[in-house]
Every structure is written in C-alpha cells, then in structure tokens.
C-alpha cells in the first residue's frame, strides 16, 4: 500500500523535501513507516529515542496525534497521510 | 512590615497628572511591591488604587500604569518586557497589554518601578523621563505622525551613545480607534485592548526614557543557580533553541491547520486547501520575505521576523512581521492567503498604531456582514468587501486608523460594528475583544480560556491551552475534557500572570516553568519567593483583576462565547464539535470554584481578605 508522509519545520531539510510517498506492506504501522523513512543515522537520531518516538516530536495520522491512538503501533491504511513535526510554539 | 531598600526595586513610582500638568515621584509601598511583584501584578494594583473601575475609559478619570519588575535590570533571559494596565475603551473591563522590545528595560534604568499617567492634557504632550527627573513637554510637532516617524524623531540622542527609548502612539490612537496600540522600537507593540486610544484621549503622544541606573543582586549564588538552569533548559528545548528563530511564530500555521483549529472567514469553519495554507506558512515566510530573525532585550530565542515585501507600486518595503496571529487574522480569517498583502497590511497597522489582531477580526466581521447583505456597497465607498480581497484588507487598515468612510465604523471594533447593524451574532468576540487565531470549538480548554480571560478573548491572559493540548502531548490534557479544563486553564493563566509580572516572555514557558524564576527573583531581592509563594501572588493578581471587572460592571453573563460556537459545529478528528451553552456553563462554574469565586463569578469577601486584595486605596 501507499501512504503520504509530510514534513514540517527542520524535518524538511532533514528529509530533503515537503512530502514523500512511502510504499509499505499491508498491515504496516506508523513505526514501520518511520523506520522506512529514517534511512540514515541522522534521520533515525532525530525521530527515535531507542525504540520510542523522540520527545518534542509530533506525529499525526490524518490530523490525529499518534500518542492518542496506539503510538508507533497505530496501523496505517492505504492513502493515509502521516505528518512529522517538531513540537512548535508561538502564538 | 517590609521596608525599602529591597534589592531589585528602586522604591519609586512616577505619577504624571496631565490635567494639572505636573509629574511627581511617590514612594512605592514595599508591602504592595512584595505582594504583587511587578509588571502586570503591580500595575494592576496601582491602577485599582488610582481609578474608579466604573469610570469612562476615554475620559480623564481613566489612567494607565506601566510597571517594571525586580528581574528587569538583571541579566535574566528576556527580562525587559513592559506591561501596561488601564481600563479598556474596547471592552469596558480591565485592559492589559504586554510588549517586548527595549523600552521596559530602559524605563527601569531611569530609576523607577512604575509609571502612572492620569488626567488629560488640552493639547498634545509627551513625557520625558531621565534619572532623577521627569517633565511634560509639548508634542505638537509629532502629533499626526506615524509610530515610526515619531520614534525616529524623538529617539535621536542628545549626546552620542546615549540610549534613548520611545513609547508612542500613531494616528490610530490620536483618532481614538478602540483597538489602537502603543509601540516601542518601531515595531514592538502593546497591542491588545486599545491602550493607544487611552493615550489619545489624554493627548499623550509619547513617553521617552533614558537612563543607566542599576538595581542590585542580593544573593548572587541563588540567582545564578536559577539563571544557569533556565539557560540550560532553553538550549535543550527545540522551540527556544531554534524553532522560533527558524520559523517565527508563523511556524504554527501548518500545525494549527492540521489539527483543524485554523479559523476561516470570521470563524465560519476551519476548512482550507493545503496549497493555500502552504502560501502563508512560517516555512514559506522564511524562504521568501524573511531577511533576518531578530531579538528583544536579552532574548536568546529570536522570533522577530525582519522582512521585505514588494509594495503595491512595485517599490521594496521593509518592516517586521507577520507573526502567527497577524498572518491568520489578517489572512484566512478574511479568506486571504496572499502573504504579500498580509505583510503590507501588517506594516501599515504597525505604522498607524493598530492592534493587528482586533483589526483582522473586525475586517473579517465586516466581510461577513457584506456577504450577508448587511453592509451595502453604498457604505463601503465602492470597495468590494468580498472574503479573499487583499486589496480591501489593505485599504481598510488605513481607513480604520484615519476613521475615513466605513473606517469610522470599523474603528469601533467588531462587536459595535455588528451590534450597530442589529447583528451582534456576527461579532466573534468575548467581552467585545476579538478572538485570537485558534477556533475554540477545537479545544474546550482554549474555549474556557477565552471565556474567563480578565481582558476578553485573549490567548495570552486567558491561557494558551493549545500548547498543553498538542505540544506537550495529547495524553496530558485531552482536547475535549470538560472535567480537566478548569484546572488546566487556571494553571496556564497563573503561569502567564507570573511571566507578565516578572517582565519575561511567554516563550520561556516552552523550556521551563516557575522554579528557575523563583530562584532568580529570590536571588535578586534577597527575599524567599518559593514556588508556593509565587502561586499565591498569581491567585492574588487573578482575583484582583476579577474584582476590578466586577466593579466595572462585568457579570458571569460576559464569560460566554458567541452563539456560533454553541450552534454551528466544525469537524475535528472526524467528529462534529461545538461547545453547547450547558457545557460552557458547567466549565465556567467549575472554574469559579477552582478560583474560590461564587456562582456569579464574584470573589468572595473571605477570599479577598485572605489574599489581602480587598479595598481600593484611592
């Protein structure tokens, strides 16, 4: 299946673009998608702390934070949009 | 009883009476200083002891107070902000506004803890403050000039190298626009609640300060331990370390859109095309208009956007902004995604001295009235007020500041504009203050913050729940918890009171909370300000602000969102969300209980006594 990953703030530099299509096996999870995307040590370092998501990171599936779903185990469906942000502030 | 000298304070308040034309220095009461710290807390107390809360905000009976804090003068990060308190001509309740820049620090170094300005002059004046002296001078030569022109004329130093800082209004304040601002350093602005109109009503154009007076550091070791921790944490947290410098506050645009909270067309919905949002994002701003980031006094964060944009006539214009609130309220709230038009409108608002937030909210209200046929072309001097018109936005900013044509009605703010046409339901305001750029239907906690902010719908006084709900992890504060919202928002409001009373920036809150501040303020003053004692001060200030509003005539009825948010749902995470009147009432009652106020939202006599708030000393 195919999903879309979108990057914001410095993740655009890190992943060299605003968005990327990811091809995954059926039943793949958010963790699987991020593992595919983080194909360099630097990318892995910015996204993962061990097997967990790094703090100060916001990952959403179709606008819902994965922390309020099943975290990295959240299953993905074809056509889903995964968004990856650092925690932002302002106002 | 405490006595001055207390390290960190000068122990002096400057009082200018513009009706009598005199300025005098009075001693600061030490107990008041320690009970209210400085900034917002101290200024609110001094205002409450100076004016009758039922007085006419644009009459000589109103006053404004600016206060520094004991931390200003130290090298604590961001400690240089000023806080201004007055009765608001826009809302009719307490008005408070905060600004960065350098004026706050300069004022403190002139040797005073606070400035009270009351009465009204017959002809334009300015106040000139230097160590040991202050005088009222004529200001006819700068009346009518923009904030930039006024700043540049008055800030010219008498001798080379002398620091001179100017706080001033533009034409909007002179014309009593109810959301006129006060500016310092050209583009740093005391925006909300209309302080510029209060100055205009007093014929006060500017307050100029110069000085190099120091206050002490009583316990350097204790101060240093708080400072080191604060600086360390600011380097660790991505927001304070680099994100605000990289993207400015407009870095939020994409995120707030993704969580279905980015308002559109006067809060009719939160629906935008992704490619439109991309055009006004912080990432786009950084790649297109940004020349460099900048910082306020002693700030390691650096969120300022120094930008350039092509003018309507093709010439190049330079200025600052847009910030997140301006980008959205002058942008998508008006159906506009043209970053150049938004930036130019922002520049004009800064020069003319308008609050960009209320200005955007009022123009969006006018556009909805026009869309519904409630504002005809005959009233708009032929201007097409369709949502999405950047040309209309830019024209209306100038017309509003000058009160030209339709601008005279817009100068009254969204509430009076809509209510004047018999349709107050199209004014997206709480207590007549235009709502910031986060749809309250997408977070109950944010909604309750708008409802209970002492100044009307303000994310800075009401509590910035967005950061709790989304940036701190959704598990901490669910977006739609009726039960948790009252305590969560009380805590956020209290943190804001502390930051405003210490003269420091909200954005430090992305790195650390009260503890480093407690140690720094204890170190400066040599008094024991524990976190618990700071919490008591925060509750004292919140209760005093409420008491001021009660005496100004506000009731629990005023702590209510516009009907739209109860009646018309938006879709968030696949569910329809609105905030029913019953839910609003329940959260409000819980919040009053958390604060120790009665069911009508009034502080009880026992609470006023326990917090030593009771009784104005005027």
B464 touches chain A (CB under 8 A): yes
Position B474 confidence tier, pLDDT thresholds 50, 70, 90: very low
H/E stretch holding A46 = helix A41-47
User: Nearest Cβ partner of A87 from B239, B254, B436?
Assistant: B239
Residue B251 CA to residue B260 CA, distance in Å, equals: 16
- The SS3 assignment for A49 reads strand
Query: CB–CB of B467 and A83 under 8 A?
Result: no
Neighbours of B612 (CB within 10 A): 14
Report the pLDDT value the prediction gives residue B162, as an integer from 0 to 100: 74
- Which residues from chain B sit within 8 angstroms of residue A85, using beta carbons? 254-255
Report the pLDDT value the prediction gives residue A30, as an integer from 0 to 100: 97
Report the pLDDT value the prediction gives residue A57, as an integer from 0 to 100: 86
A8 touches chain B (CB under 8 A): yes
Q: Global pTM?
A: 0.97
- Which residues from chain A sit within 8 angstroms of residue B510, using beta carbons? 87, 89
Report the pLDDT value the prediction gives residue B480, as an integer from 0 to 100: 87
Residue B361 has pLDDT above 50, yes or no: yes
Report the pLDDT value the prediction gives residue B224, as an integer from 0 to 100: 98
- The SS3 assignment for B114 reads strand
Neighbours of B137 (CB within 10 A): 13
Position B122 confidence tier, pLDDT thresholds 50, 70, 90: very high
What are residue B394's phi and psi, to 5 degrees?
Answer: -65, -40
Residue from B175, B88, B171, B165 nearest B349 by CA? B171
Query: CB–CB of A90 and B242 under 8 A?
Result: no
Residue-wise pLDDT for B518-560, tens only, equals 999 999 999 999 999 999 999 999 999 999 999 999 999 999 9
B294-309 as b/e, with b when 16 or more CB fall inside 10 Å?
A: bebbbbbbbbbbebeb
Query: CB–CB of B249 and A91 under 8 A?
Result: yes
Q: Which residues are CB-contacts of B373 (< 8 A; sequence separation ≥ 6)?
A: none
Neighbours of B87 (CB within 10 A): 29
- ipTM for the complex shown: 0.92
Q: Does domain B440-610 have CATH number 1.10.599.10?
A: yes
A86 touches chain B (CB under 8 A): yes
Query: CB–CB of A88 and B323 under 8 A?
Result: no
Q: HSE (CB half, 13 Å, CA atoms) of B148?
A: 10
Query: CB–CB of B470 and A86 under 8 A?
Result: no
To which residue do tokens 């400085």 refer? B38
Residue-wise pLDDT for B81-114, tens only, equals 999 999 999 999 999 999 999 999 999 999 999 9
User: Nearest Cβ partner of B251 from A65, A68, A90?
Assistant: A90
Q: Is residue A14 part of a domain?
A: yes
Residue from B388, B356, B390 nearest B188 by CA? B356
Q: How many domains does chain A have?
A: 1
To which residue do tokens 């350097």 refer? B220
Alpha-carbon gap: B43 to the closest alpha carbon of chain A (Å): 24
CB B249 within 8 A of CB A88: no
Q: Is residue A91 part of a domain?
A: no
> Do the bridges between strand B204-210 and strand B125-130 make them parallel or antiparallel, or are there none, so unpaired?
parallel
Query: CB–CB of B243 and A88 under 8 A?
Result: yes
Q: What is the mean pLDDT of chain B?
A: 95
Task: Tell me which of B254, B263, B321 to substitute to probe the interface with A (most A C-beta atoms closer than 10 Å).
Answer: B254
Extents of the domains making up chain B: 12-210, 251-434, 440-610
B414 touches chain A (CB under 8 A): no
Q: Please report, for the domain that includes residue A22, its CATH number.
A: 3.10.20.30
Residue B578 CA to residue B566 CA, distance in Å, equals: 5
To which residue do tokens 């004016």 refer? B51
CB B418 within 8 A of CB B426: yes
Report the pLDDT value the prediction gives residue A58, as an integer from 0 to 100: 86
Compute and round to an integer the Cα radius of gyration of chain B: 22
Residue B469 has pLDDT above 60, yes or no: no
More confident residue, B418 or B212: B418
Indicate the CATH number of B251-434 among 1.10.540.10, 1.10.357.10, 1.10.569.10, 2.60.40.420. Answer: 1.10.569.10
Residue B10 CA to residue B264 CA, distance in Å, equals: 48
Report the pLDDT value the prediction gives residue B476, as an integer from 0 to 100: 54
Residue B541 CA to residue B275 CA, distance in Å, equals: 44
Residue B235 has pLDDT above 70, yes or no: yes
Position B471 confidence tier, pLDDT thresholds 50, 70, 90: low
Position A56 confidence tier, pLDDT thresholds 50, 70, 90: confident
A10 touches chain B (CB under 8 A): yes
Residue-wise pLDDT for B364-422, tens only, equals 999 999 999 999 888 988 899 999 999 999 999 999 999 999 999 999 999 999 999 99
Report the pLDDT value the prediction gives residue B160, as an integer from 0 to 100: 77
More confident residue, B133 or B244: B244
Residue-wise pLDDT for B280-311, tens only, equals 999 999 999 999 999 999 999 999 999 999 99
Residue A33 CA to residue A23 CA, distance in Å, equals: 8
Report the pLDDT value the prediction gives residue B473, as an integer from 0 to 100: 45
- Which residues from chain A sit within 8 angstroms of residue B250, using beta carbons? 90
User: Nearest Cβ partner of B243 from A9, A63, A68?
Assistant: A9
Residue ranges making up the domain that contains A28: 2-86
Q: Which fold has domain B12-210?
A: Aldehyde Ferredoxin Oxidoreductase;  A, domain 1 (3.60.9)
A64 touches chain B (CB under 8 A): yes
Q: Is residue A54 part of a domain?
A: yes
Query: CB–CB of B475 and A68 under 8 A?
Result: yes
Region B25-36: mean pLDDT is 97
Residue B460 has pLDDT above 70, yes or no: yes
- Which residues from chain B sit within 8 angstroms of residue A88, using beta carbons? 239, 243, 247, 251-252, 255, 471
């Amino acid at each position: 299946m195919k999903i879309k990953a979108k990057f914001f703030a410095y993740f655009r530099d890190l992943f060299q673009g605003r968005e990327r299509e990811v091809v995954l096996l059926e039943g793949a999870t958010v963790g699987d998608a991020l593992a595919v995307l983080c194909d360099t040590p630097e990318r892995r370092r910015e996204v993962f702390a061990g097997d967990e998501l790094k703090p100060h990171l916001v990952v959403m599936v179709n606008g819902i934070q994965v922390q309020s779903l099943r975290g990295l185990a959240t299953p993905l469906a074809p056509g889903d949009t995964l968004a990856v942000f650092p925690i932002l502030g302002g106002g | 009883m405490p006595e001055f000298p207390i390290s960190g304070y000068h122990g002096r308040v400057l009082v200018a009476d513009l009706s009598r034309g005199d300025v005098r220095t009075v001693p600061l009461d030490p107990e008041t200083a320690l009970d209210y710290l400085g900034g917002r807390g101290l200024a609110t107390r001094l205002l409450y002891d100076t004016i009758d809360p039922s007085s006419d905000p644009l009459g000589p009976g109103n006053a404004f107070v600016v206060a520094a804090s004991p931390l200003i003068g130290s090298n604590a990060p961001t400690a240089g902000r000023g806080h201004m308190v007055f009765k608001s001509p826009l809302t009719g309740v307490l008005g408070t506004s905060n600004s960065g820049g350098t004026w706050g620090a300069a004022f403190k170094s002139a040797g005073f803890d606070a400035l009270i300005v009351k009465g009204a002059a017959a002809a334009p004046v300015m106040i000139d403050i230097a160590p040991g002296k202050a005088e009222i001078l004529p200001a006819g030569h700068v009346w009518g000039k923009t904030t930039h022109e006024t700043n540049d004329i008055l800030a010219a130093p008498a001798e080379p190298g002398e620091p001179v800082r100017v706080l001033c209004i533009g034409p909007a304040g002179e014309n009593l626009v109810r959301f006129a601002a006060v500016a310092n350093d050209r583009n740093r602005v005391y925006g909300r609640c209309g302080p510029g109109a209060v100055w205009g009503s007093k014929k006060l154009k500017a307050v100029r300060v110069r000085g190099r007076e120091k206050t002490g550091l009583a316990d350097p070791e204790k101060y240093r331990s708080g400072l080191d921790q604060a600086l360390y944490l600011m380097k660790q947290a991505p927001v304070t370390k680099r994100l605000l410098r990289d993207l400015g506050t407009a870095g939020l645009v994409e995120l707030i859109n993704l969580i279905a909270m980015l308002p559109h067309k006067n809060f009719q919905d939160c629906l935008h095309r992704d490619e439109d949002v991309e055009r006004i994002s912080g990432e786009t701003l950084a790649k297109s208009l940004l020349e460099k980031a900048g910082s306020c006094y002693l700030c390691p964060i650096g969120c300022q956007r120094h930008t350039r944009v092509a003018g309507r006539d093709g010439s190049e214009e330079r200025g600052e902004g847009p910030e997140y609130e301006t980008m959205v309220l002058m942008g998508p709230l008006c159906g506009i995604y043209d970053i150049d038009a938004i930036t130019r409108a922002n520049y004009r608002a800064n020069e003319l001295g308008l609050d960009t937030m209320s200005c955007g909210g009022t123009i969006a209200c006018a556009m909805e009235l026009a869309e519904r046929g409630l504002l005809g072309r005959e009233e708009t001097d032929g201007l097409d007020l369709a949502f999405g018109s950047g040309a209309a936005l830019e024209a209306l900013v100038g017309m509003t500041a000058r009160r030209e044509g339709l601008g005279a009605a817009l100068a009254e703010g969204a509430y009076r504009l809509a209510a004047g046409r018999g349709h107050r339901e199209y004014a997206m305001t709480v207590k007549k203050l235009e709502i910031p750029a986060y749809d309250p239907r997408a977070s109950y906690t944010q909604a309750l913050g708008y409802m209970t902010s002492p100044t009307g719908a303000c994310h800075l006084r009401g509590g910035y729940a967005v950061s709790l709900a989304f940036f701190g992890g959704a598990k901490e504060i669910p977006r739609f918890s009726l039960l948790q919202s009252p305590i969560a928002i009380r805590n956020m409001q209290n943190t804001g009171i502390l930051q405003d009373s210490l003269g420091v920036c909200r954005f430090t809150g992305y790195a650390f909370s009260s503890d480093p501040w407690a140690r720094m303020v204890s170190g400066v003053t040599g008094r024991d300000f524990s976190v618990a004692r700071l919490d008591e001060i925060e509750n004292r200030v919140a209760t005093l602000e409420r008491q001021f509003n009660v005496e100004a005539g506000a009731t629990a009825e005023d702590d209510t969102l516009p009907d739209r948010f109860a009646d018309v749902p938006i879709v968030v995470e696949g569910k329809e969300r609105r905030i029913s009147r019953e839910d609003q009432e329940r959260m409000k009652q819980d919040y009053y209980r958390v604060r120790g106020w009665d069911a009508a939202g009034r502080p009880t006599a026992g609470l006023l006594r326990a917090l030593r708030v009771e009784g104005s000393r005027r």
